[in-house]
Structure 1
Amino acid sequence: MRPTGFIPPLCTPLTPDGAVDTGSLRRLVEHVLEGGASGVFVLGTSGEAVFLTDEQRRTVVRTAVEAAGGRVPVLAGVIDTTTPRVLERAREAAGLGADALVATAPFYTDTHPAETADHFRRVAAETALPLLAYDIPSRVHTKLPLAVLLDLAEDRTLIGLKDSSGDLDTLRHLLVALRHRDPNRHFSVLTGSELTVDAALLIGADGVVAGLGNVDPAGYARLYAHAQAGRWPEAVAEQNRLTTLHALVRPAGTRDMSGTAATLGALKTALCLLGVIDHPTTAAPLRPLTPEAAQAVEHLLKDGGLL
């Protein structure tokens, strides 16, 4: 398995009382597949994984696997604080039919790079599933070292990386090093920096994992297709359009709510307005969008031609 293309990190639709809305999740899977997604990633940051109970996480994986029906791979986040907890999540996701796992470095506690490498090796050995690393320093508070990634790519502990660090310089160093150490490109690099996808693809990234792709999957699929065909002016134009649309994830100020609540609330509000999910509910303790912020999302969808 070598993930490429556009793989959206799915939101987790919730009912007003906070339960996983499996009907809406199934429709969301269909929505992104119709838009051209080459896989789906559940239980990532956009999926509110760290807010969900263990049973809710199991429900999300089970529902997504059933909804995808083998048409595309299902990547399951196994994000948790420590190695033993991640191993539990990995066993559960494997048992529920996930095609690959996505894990961060341990967090809350600090770890040495050698311990981080050992963490990934333990997770990879726990199941027969392919494993991708998730580099997101804004949440984990540590950057995955380049040397560690290259070693884990070389010994096939990892099949790929989702890079949400926003560090284009280091991403380029990784891609250049991989060309020398892995010329057959067994290791897949996916960018999670959704405003610089065109640049990442130009320098050699293999795909994109973009939260805004929940709302406009066809846009990111087009961007990837333009890049693959070498139509760079068209790729830049599509990226610019998506950048304008991206304003919808900041419709509310963060004076009375977190940036996480503003972003996830906006994505879910947009999906409700598009008729994909039933409720914009976010997990506790995230605050809901104000009516004014929801109206701003609606205006941006209309301006973007999605409504």
Structure 2
Amino acid sequence: MTFPAPLTGVVPPVCTPLTPEREVDVPSLLRLVDHLVEGGVHALFVLGSSSEAAYLTDRQRALVVASVVAHVGGQLPVLAGTIDMTTPRVLDHVAAVTAAGADAVVVTAPFYARTHPAEIARHYRLVAAASPVPVVAYDIPVSVHTALPAELVLELAADGTLAALKDSSGDLAAFREVVTGVRDDPRITGFSVLTGSELIVDSALALGADGAVPGLANVDPHGYVRLDRLCRSGDRERARLEQERLCALFGIVRAGDPARMGAGSAALGAFKAALHLRGIIDCPATAEPQVPLSPREVERVGEHLATAGLL
């Protein structure tokens, strides 16, 4: 199943604001959605990595999807992550998010148990057979410990199993292989290839990507929409300058001290600290057991925002 129109442009993986008690802060979530829509984004992706989906209970996941779908009211497509370890668990999530109104589901390879490429293909075909909406493959080997081979993605695109790919592998050569394979295979129509990198959006679009899914777009959606527009208009110099400004802003993820926290805590903490400093969410809390940023680290995030013209 494919999208009614190809999925293109900026598709932020929406952060999930939490209360100090680590419940979903729905009013803050809806303010964040308004901030993204006002910024001109082209679709929304809830329950991804930047959404802290791995930390949310099934009840919290359902609340996020239902709240965002109802608030958006069809203005933009809403993609929902159905990320879990095995096919039966993913199928349960697919049923839940599609019942809540999601327009597409985003699915990683199975994880925890090691899987063969043939088993990954079977996983996606079983999910697609059960899903009433398009299936987007999410290649994030750093989290699931399995990369999606380009030839497998192209095979599943050609037979209609997959409607799109979000590539967070960091492997630009493999990404290029998918882009050129989609372009050159007459069997593949309406398939979208999106980069998950904040730092190479201009390069990915130059290669022929359809769009980007950058976590930093939560903080600066206007910047990524501007970058997308400049790339598509062929204004390479201004696109380069905008990309470099966003690369500098991405320095917020290094505000956290790596001696006391993981990269995930630092990045998600920085995104939420930035949203809190900008007055978009009420609380910068991240889900347990992630380590919060210190006051001085939050100050460093603010310094990056000020340099980027966002404070």
- Report the equivalent of 1:281: 285
Amino acid at match of 1:108: Y
How far residue 250 of structure 1 moved from its aligned partner, in angstroms, is 1.4
How far residue 185 of structure 1 moved from its aligned partner, in angstroms, is 4.3
- Report the equivalent of 2:35: 31
Amino acid at match of 2:259: R
- Report the equivalent of 1:141: 145
- Report the equivalent of 2:71: 67
- Report the equivalent of 1:123: 127
For the pair 1:113 / 2:117, whether they are aligned, the reply is: yes
Contact 2:19 2:283 in 1 (8 A): yes
Q: Distance in 2 between matches of 1:125 and 1:226?
A: 38
* 2:180 alignment partner, one of 176, 179, 193: 176
* 2:249 alignment partner, one of 245, 266, 287: 245
Amino acid at match of 2:94: A
- Report the equivalent of 1:260: 264
Q: How many residues are matched?
A: 307
- Report the equivalent of 2:236: 232
Q: Distance in 2 between matches of 1:137 and 1:67?
A: 32
How far residue 228 of structure 1 moved from its aligned partner, in angstroms, is 1.1
How far residue 254 of structure 1 moved from its aligned partner, in angstroms, is 1.3
Q: Distance in 1 between matches of 2:11 and 2:72?
A: 13
Amino acid at match of 2:21: D
In the alignment, structure 1 segments of 5+ residues that lack a partner are none
How far residue 67 of structure 1 moved from its aligned partner, in angstroms, is 1.6
* 2:204 alignment partner, one of 197, 200, 207: 200
- Report the equivalent of 1:87: 91
- Report the equivalent of 2:157: 153
In the alignment, structure 2 segments of 5+ residues that lack a partner are none
Amino acid at match of 1:227: C
After superposition, the CA RMSD in angstroms is 0.9
Q: Distance in 1 between matches of 2:222 and 2:140?
A: 25
Q: Distance in 2 between matches of 1:250 and 1:215?
A: 15
How far residue 102 of structure 1 moved from its aligned partner, in angstroms, is 0.2
- Per the normalisation by structure 2, the TM-score is 0.97
- SS of the residue corresponding to residue 76 of structure 1 reads strand
> How high is the sequence identity, in percent, across the aligned residues?
52
* 2:302 alignment partner, one of 290, 298, 303: 298
Q: 1:35-89: CA deviations, max 9, x gaps? A: 1100000000000001010000000101110121110000000000111000000
Q: Distance in 2 between matches of 1:147 and 1:301?
A: 40
Q: 1:172-207: CA deviations, max 9, x gaps? A: 111111111148741100000110110000010000
How far residue 152 of structure 1 moved from its aligned partner, in angstroms, is 0.5
- Per the normalisation by structure 1, the TM-score is 0.98
How far residue 221 of structure 1 moved from its aligned partner, in angstroms, is 0.3
Amino acid at match of 1:211: G
